[in-house]
Chains A and B, each alone.
Chain A
């Protein structure tokens, strides 16, 4: 039981320059008004620290005019933040009761200071999330330099962090690690972006509490913060778009009580028909998405709990002309400037399509112990149902070709020893049981087999504030994975893979043309991280870190086996796959003044047994020849730079630049890596008029160069229809492109508690034709044409 209340006295004196104010205060306990000794006070974003003396007093010297947030830490007290505005020669005495709303204080559902500033991380705020309300997580994350996306059309958007994607990225949604068959290139995270209040992207492996296998990085969707006040409030967003002739509707209603209870319901609907490129309709690219979540709990200082359920149902059309038969069709599609199938606009979503249902149920509990720290325990359950519908004939026309049901139970516990804010430690455990069931009713051989998987992980992280300027962080994690699968192999494939010499002891059944085999795998993974953050002065800081991470191969990399119809390719996994081991070093230089903010991030990532999917040759079948894509392993190096520059030009205009360069190659074969994002540059010029309804106008330029560093996987094939031998060009990359986007927004205060935000956006302003290297439909069609979007948002 500890309520920290402090009385702060601010004295400001103008002495010649703006940066010579001093800032004094006193902290006392509200119970008996006795001074609190040894509390640490930090000015957020500055390298200024102070500690209260025996009378509870603290002092800061040489403070510039401006807005500040103080962060107050004391043994067994919740970290507190208070805002001050130092503008003129004033005296303020602030007397604070324990009601935290007077402080504009909030209790954050999950505070994690342990890895705070020694990692390369970037945050996306609520406003940006609202702007992307009608789009996907992957689209919003592209606002971060170094984050790009791997698309299948424009509704399936997989984030790429520093060139890495899929199982190398952990997505944390409200404290739950998303388990949604993230291995597939055409499997996007099944998440409603509107559920997040803030999104943090952590590049690289240095966030061990989430997992040891995040070679690419971690995307943390943070939940809403609740004020301890008797309030009901909410928000509704309506978006309309010309391209796709559809829109989105999102509503969020929150009730909170002074006693700490909160109730939150959210619902989102999205509906789009066929999107279009500048010259033609993109047939069957519609989207129908429904999502809702319900959440309740208690947040008090010493303890609290949350019960959370969320559900999303996505029906996603796959571009009709990207569904092809064999290599002839692929060559025809590549050589044709236009898609082979163009139909009139339609809202119907027909085969090929995906339908995904994802449920997350979570219950968590925390308790704080005096003089030691905070214990958190959590259980979560996820159910992911994935149906992929192929273009089929006869009785099977409406039957899914892929029908997977993935269930995951996870239990975790961790303890944060934070009684000494200069030395905090966090230790934790996580256990996961996962079961995948591939429904045989599809009548199509399973691409991913039935399996059970057990994971157990332990971690310990320490955060050390060495002095006022330097913070050091180190962590260690061990994970054990056990996979037990039962899979059918066509006997000829078993021989072709060479498994008959290595794995014949796995065979447990003979089914005419197929073997039933029972492979089991055990992987021991070690991960570690270390980082140091140092302020040279109040403007300049540097950060260095190192991360070791190990990732066990996923189900797709081990077991894939068969014709992936919609991709017109045979995809083959490998039972002999080993785990990937990555060493990543990175450095950040940050410069920040009131007008200028610059961040330069550099990284080098060397990965042993890097697993990737690449074309391998062709196999002749009765349907014609098909390209074979093999999962292969190699040693890979990736390095790159991410650059962010924000500059206030004057009171109304500001400029920003976000650029990233990345290079990836195989060390063994001296070849470029496949699917590495091309150099890209985002420049924007913004006008903001705070005096007239916060009018904002932003012109953004998005310039993506042609990727010249790509591996040549082209091969020759005989085309019976053309009677010639032709090169199948599946490697060449699309040309550079430049897009302009224009956005404008205004805010109207309708009443004391009600705001109306209106924004209008035109994307691809010049309606140019372009194709993107990392969009799988680039072989078949141009990307999206001009789009007019209107969004109304009411906060009430």
Chain B
């Protein structure tokens, strides 16, 4: 029986040795988070328009993003546009756009309209001469209303049909950001 006592003593000791109390865990502030997407549209003359989608609790939180649109677009106008994606859970905010440009071959922004209220043409390229879509021109049609959906795709198939010209249909890949803005053109 002595052996058994020894085994029990050893086991009890081990359990108490490892079961000592611990410190609180360290908070994880999610990396790679994108909280904010801002489109800035500058016409040759007239008002600069900003479109913003802001989701402070990110993709893990239950709250939907807040969409804000500074005004309506002018008809038959060409805007010079650029898009910015930020992580505002950090202070100062992290500019994720830089990462997207650095890894341009693996990313592409897509701009999709309903009701044909506008078209977008890319004005930037990655190292393979394919578009990234951080800068672009947006040309509005005649007056009307519709939606603009901005999508950032990670690892799109840039060589697939029509992807280079901005069609998301064959792009595949995974969605990093997606925001839909209801626009009026007048």
- CB atoms of A324 and B27 under 8 A apart: no
- CB atoms of A488 and B27 under 8 A apart: yes
Please name all residues of chain B whose beta carbon is closer than 8 Å to the beta carbon of A635 when the two chains form the complex.
none
Q: How far is the CA of A148 from the CA of B78 in the complex (A)?
A: 61
Known interface pairs A513-B57, A720-B112, A720-B149. Does A619 touch B64 (Cβ–Cβ under 8 Å)? yes
- CB atoms of A624 and B89 under 8 A apart: no
Q: How far is the CA of A487 from the CA of B28 in the complex (A)?
A: 11
- CB atoms of B56 and A377 under 8 A apart: no
**What mask results when residues 430 to 473 of chain A are scored 1 for a CB within 8 Å of chain B, else 0?**
01010100101011111001101010000000000000000000
- The answer to the question of B175 belonging to the interface, with a C-beta cut-off of 8 Å to chain A, is yes
Please name all residues of chain A whose beta carbon is closer than 8 Å to the beta carbon of B180 when the two chains form the complex.
718, 720
Please name all residues of chain A whose beta carbon is closer than 8 Å to the beta carbon of B54 when the two chains form the complex.
622
Q: Restricting to B135-186, which residues have a CB under 8 Å from any CB of A? A: 147, 149, 151, 153-155, 168-169, 172-180
- CB atoms of A452 and B19 under 8 A apart: yes
Q: Restricting to B34-57, which residues have a CB under 8 Å from any CB of A? A: 34-37, 53-57
- CB atoms of B24 and A508 under 8 A apart: yes
- CB atoms of B173 and A325 under 8 A apart: yes
Q: Restricting to B52-99, which residues have a CB under 8 Å from any CB of A? A: 53-65, 89, 99
Please name all residues of chain A whose beta carbon is closer than 8 Å to the beta carbon of B126 when the two chains form the complex.
none
Least CB distance from A469 to B in Å reads 39
Partner of A492, one of B53, B57, B178: B57
Known interface pairs A379-B10, A492-B63, A493-B61. Does A623 touch B154 (Cβ–Cβ under 8 Å)? no
Partner of B28, one of A445, A509, A622: A445
Q: Which residue of B lies closest to A623 (CB)?
A: B59
- CB atoms of A622 and B178 under 8 A apart: yes
Please name all residues of chain A whose beta carbon is closer than 8 Å to the beta carbon of B59 when the two chains form the complex.
563, 621-623, 626
- The answer to the question of A506 belonging to the interface, with a C-beta cut-off of 8 Å to chain B, is no
- CB atoms of B55 and A621 under 8 A apart: yes
- Which residue, of A496, A562, A721, has the highest number of chain B Cβ atoms within 10 A? A721
- CB atoms of B3 and A365 under 8 A apart: yes
- CB atoms of B24 and A509 under 8 A apart: yes
- CB atoms of B112 and A721 under 8 A apart: yes
Please name all residues of chain A whose beta carbon is closer than 8 Å to the beta carbon of B65 when the two chains form the complex.
620-622
Partner of A365, one of B7, B34, B147: B7
- The answer to the question of A391 belonging to the interface, with a C-beta cut-off of 8 Å to chain B, is yes
- CB atoms of A393 and B174 under 8 A apart: no
Partner of B58, one of A365, A391, A621: A621
- CB atoms of B28 and A440 under 8 A apart: yes
Q: How far is the CA of A367 from the CA of B3 in the complex (A)?
A: 10
Q: Restricting to A481-527, which residues have a CB under 8 Å from any CB of B? A: 486-488, 490-493, 496, 508-509, 511-514, 516
- The answer to the question of B114 belonging to the interface, with a C-beta cut-off of 8 Å to chain A, is yes
- The answer to the question of A299 belonging to the interface, with a C-beta cut-off of 8 Å to chain B, is no
Least CB distance from A4 to B in Å reads 25
Q: Which residue of B lies closest to A509 (CB)?
A: B24
- CB atoms of B178 and A623 under 8 A apart: yes
- CB atoms of A623 and B175 under 8 A apart: yes
Q: Which residue of A lies closest to B171 (CB)?
A: A721
Partner of A622, one of B27, B53, B62, B172: B53
- CB atoms of A621 and B61 under 8 A apart: yes
**What mask results when residues 295 to 329 of chain A are scored 1 for a CB within 8 Å of chain B, else 0?**
00000000000000000000000000001111011
- The answer to the question of B14 belonging to the interface, with a C-beta cut-off of 8 Å to chain A, is yes
- CB atoms of B27 and A514 under 8 A apart: yes
- CB atoms of A490 and B176 under 8 A apart: no
- The answer to the question of A423 belonging to the interface, with a C-beta cut-off of 8 Å to chain B, is no
Q: Restricting to B13-43, which residues have a CB under 8 Å from any CB of A? A: 14-15, 18-19, 22, 24-28, 30-32, 34-37
Q: Which residue of A lies closest to B31 (CB)?
A: A443
Please name all residues of chain B whose beta carbon is closer than 8 Å to the beta carbon of A101 when the two chains form the complex.
none
Q: How far is the CA of A563 from the CA of B18 in the complex (A)?
A: 32
- CB atoms of B64 and A621 under 8 A apart: yes
Q: Restricting to B89-145, which residues have a CB under 8 Å from any CB of A? A: 89, 99, 102-103, 106, 110, 112, 114
Partner of B31, one of A325, A444, A454, A621: A444
- CB atoms of B64 and A620 under 8 A apart: yes
Least CB distance from A145 to B in Å reads 40
Least CB distance from B98 to A in Å reads 10
- The answer to the question of A723 belonging to the interface, with a C-beta cut-off of 8 Å to chain B, is yes
- CB atoms of A496 and B106 under 8 A apart: no
**What mask results when residues 671 to 698 of chain A are scored 1 for a CB within 8 Å of chain B, else 0?**
0000000000000000000000000000
- The answer to the question of A254 belonging to the interface, with a C-beta cut-off of 8 Å to chain B, is no
Least CB distance from B104 to A in Å reads 12
Known interface pairs A379-B10, A723-B112. Does A324 touch B55 (Cβ–Cβ under 8 Å)? no
Please name all residues of chain A whose beta carbon is closer than 8 Å to the beta carbon of B147 when the two chains form the complex.
720, 723
- CB atoms of B60 and A490 under 8 A apart: yes
Please name all residues of chain A whose beta carbon is closer than 8 Å to the beta carbon of B179 when the two chains form the complex.
622
Known interface pairs A328-B178, A493-B62, A624-B175. Does A442 touch B28 (Cβ–Cβ under 8 Å)? yes
- CB atoms of B177 and A622 under 8 A apart: yes
Please name all residues of chain A whose beta carbon is closer than 8 Å to the beta carbon of B26 when the two chains form the complex.
440
- Which residue, of B19, B22, B62, has the highest number of chain A Cβ atoms within 10 A? B62
Q: How far is the CA of A626 from the CA of B168 in the complex (A)?
A: 19
Partner of A329, one of B11, B14, B174: B174
- CB atoms of A721 and B168 under 8 A apart: yes
- The answer to the question of A81 belonging to the interface, with a C-beta cut-off of 8 Å to chain B, is no
Q: Which residue of A lies closest to B25 (CB)?
A: A450
- Which residue, of B37, B60, B103, B112, has the highest number of chain A Cβ atoms within 10 A? B60
- CB atoms of B18 and A433 under 8 A apart: yes
Least CB distance from A590 to B in Å reads 41
Least CB distance from A168 to B in Å reads 27
Please name all residues of chain B whose beta carbon is closer than 8 Å to the beta carbon of A577 when the two chains form the complex.
none
Q: Which residue of A lies closest to B115 (CB)?
A: A723
- The answer to the question of A712 belonging to the interface, with a C-beta cut-off of 8 Å to chain B, is no
Q: Which residue of B lies closest to A391 (CB)?
A: B174
Q: How far is the CA of A411 from the CA of B15 in the complex (A)?
A: 9
- CB atoms of A445 and B60 under 8 A apart: yes
Selected A-B contacts with CB under 8 Å, 26 pairs: A324-B174, A325-B174, A326-B178, A363-B7, A367-B4, A393-B32, A396-B31, A409-B18, A411-B15, A440-B25, A442-B28, A444-B30, A450-B25, A452-B22, A454-B19, A490-B61, A492-B61, A493-B61, A513-B89, A621-B64, A622-B34, A622-B58, A623-B176, A623-B177, A623-B178, A624-B177
**Which 7 residue pairs across A and B have the least CB separation, nearest first?**
A325-B175, A325-B174, A720-B149, A624-B178, A443-B31, A622-B55, A496-B62
Other A-B contacts than A329-B174, A379-B11, 11 sampled, CB-CB below 8 A, are A326-B178, A328-B175, A409-B15, A443-B32, A444-B28, A444-B30, A508-B24, A514-B27, A624-B151, A720-B149, A721-B169
Give A contacts to B, CB under 8 Å.
323-326, 328-329, 332, 340-341, 363, 365, 367, 375, 377, 379, 381, 391-394, 396, 407, 409, 411, 431, 433, 435, 438, 440, 442-446, 449-450, 452, 454, 486-488, 490-493, 496, 508-509, 511-514, 516, 561-563, 570, 619-624, 626, 718, 720-723
Give B contacts to A, CB under 8 Å.
3-4, 7-8, 10-12, 14-15, 18-19, 22, 24-28, 30-32, 34-37, 53-65, 89, 99, 102-103, 106, 110, 112, 114, 147, 149, 151, 153-155, 168-169, 172-180
